[in-house]
Structure 1
Amino acid sequence: MKQIALVTGATAGLGKAIAERLIHDGYRVIATGRRQERLDELAGQLGPELLPFRLDMDDAAAIAALPGSLPDGWRDVDVLVNNAGLALGMEKAQDADIANWQGMISTNVTGMVELTRVLLPGMVARDRGHVISLGSTAGIYPYTGGNVYGATKAFVRQFMRNLRCDLLGHNVRVTNLEPGMCGGSEFSNVRLRDDAKAAAVYADTKPLQPADIAETVAWVLSLPRHVNINEIELMPVCQSAGGLSVARGMKE
């Protein structure tokens, strides 16, 4: 039987590309997101092997009910791709909107751990499965305005490392993918709430694309069951860590 993968945030960008690639590779895919019309459009494109399933990562009750809400034949999820996430704002911490911070924590941390928790027992009971989460280089390298977004991705990194410890002795794999600059998605549009500013982020660069992340997911899943890729950090060639900064001329 074909394996079943659940991909969150599949209505655009990375999640859509991952869902498309997994269908291509022979998986049955549960594609989740908040925008039903986009999910239905994706199902129309990819056919009956894709199940559109509306899910708000801020809705704890819906996440808790998810295993029993799936149709018969779709409940034994073999692969969970925790892709849904967002960044909101670039203000320094002292100027940030607390609602933006709460929104990032709710989706990037709370929703992610709740969904992982409801699907993990089934993987352990069947003694097979793979949890893949989309972290970020922002969880490794700090930058001005990255504050809570970076902190949520650092949480993802440590959460996934600890899952590896908890799952020792079970055939359930755990992988954290940490991309750097990635274009071709709505990430910067949502973060900056300004399409012109979002376009400027990628001006004169060749960033990663959603297809690159989907290719990485496909490779990780293709490896023999005894091989676990713990973490992958990837950046476009045009990007690098910025190094330390020094403020000059400060008053005592």
Structure 2
Amino acid sequence: MSKNTAYAAFHALAIGSKLWFRQADTESYVGEKPVAAIKVNSHDVLIIGAQFGWSLTLAEIDRSVTEEMLSGATKAADGRYLGWGIFDNKLQVWSSDPTVKKARVKKVKPSLCGQRFTIMTLPDDLKGVLAVGMKGTMVNTGTETPLVVLDGVSRTHYIHVSHLGIHKRRAKMTMDRLPPQTKEVLSLLKAKGSLTAIEAGGVIRARSLAKRISELKEAGVSIIAETKHDHTGQRYARYHLKAAA
């Protein structure tokens, strides 16, 4: 932005407007960071939250500037406000805070219908209704605020994608992609004909037999789960390889 354009932009702002400016005069006071201020007349601003500047009396402040507008300005001990003159020397001016990074909006494609996600943050209107960490499924997408169904919640909600952690889709499990322990479970099943979680844990130290069985089923292995009870009445599953027809 050229100095003439920036100076014109400052003059175009209404009296009482909040702005951020960068000027050669202020570099020794606040460094390179833009200064937040309130425009109080055609050439002066009041500094917000800073400990530098010269004193401006109420007489130098335009009458259209209300006390509410001045609430963020820094007031000196003598009752005057700390301000700065805006001059045409290497001036830059912004109407919104240039130091705040805008949130990146995730692009949502129609192909994400049925995609799983986890709530990472909550919109203000859903605080107290939902909770961070809840998981759900997208019902329709293609917009930045898709309709979603949350696990265990009967109502549907619209949640902006910036609040969602979209799960990466895992490639379908195939026989050549089976993890090493899943292959061991399959070998044990073939050798024994059936298998329980205790047996798998004792022989090959499989920690989650149900997950291994799920991977085998996804890869096309036919397995039947039989529910049984031990001598204490505790239920457990025994998995059998289904014989080929």
Q: Same fold (TM over 0.5)?
A: no
| TM-score where L is the length of structure 1 | 0.18
Going by fraction, where is helix more abundant, 1 or 2?
A: 1
Structure with greater Cα Rg: 2
Going by fraction, where is strand more abundant, 1 or 2?
A: 2
| TM-score where L is the length of structure 2 | 0.19
Which structure has the higher relative contact order (CA within 8 Å, separation 6+)? 1
